[in-house]
Amino acid sequence: MPVYGGPVMLIIGVLVASADYRWGTLQTILSRSGHRSGILTGRFLGLAVVMTLIAAGSLVLSIICSVVVALSTGSALTLPHVGALVGFLAAMLLITMAWSAVGFLFGVLTRNPATGIAIGLLWTLALENGLSGLACAVPALEGIRFVMLSTNTGAIAHAMVLRRSVMGVPPA
């Protein structure tokens, strides 16, 4: 999720925040409700629901794939306990919400889906990856990596893998 799913969640966030600006339907929505902050709050809460569904769907699909692989290879089927699954779901939700919130911010700031997506992908692919690679080579820039979204979401995913191995379940 943090490597490839992050930019996808960013795109979803941009589309949720800025689609009505581009389509010209925002004027109609504002004439009916009148409060832009209420509309943005509702959109962000709707985005949170979508990210929860994506995180839960990803977790269920991961469990199904793990069961299929375990049964097809004749391996022992050991599933994590419910508490661990809730932790995995919370970590996935945190990762998806972080990326989509950045996309939502870009969508609100640009008010154009194409521009928001372009800025978001350039920021993700060029700035985050470029600075992260540069920070590995230049020790003086090491502190920059700790404030980057991709580094932090990757650390969350890595921590969940370590947590799983500490619980006695080998990593997939």
Name the residue among 92, 116, 97, 93 with its Cα closest to residue 14. Answer: 116
Coil, helix or strand for 34?
coil
Separation of alpha carbons 99 and 135, rounded Å:
21
The one-letter code for the residue type at 113 is P
> Do 18 and 119 touch, CB atoms closer than 8 A?
no
pTM: 0.83
Higher pLDDT: 147 or 3? It is: 147
pLDDT tier at 55 (50, 70, 90 boundaries)?
very high
pLDDT tier at 101 (50, 70, 90 boundaries)?
very high
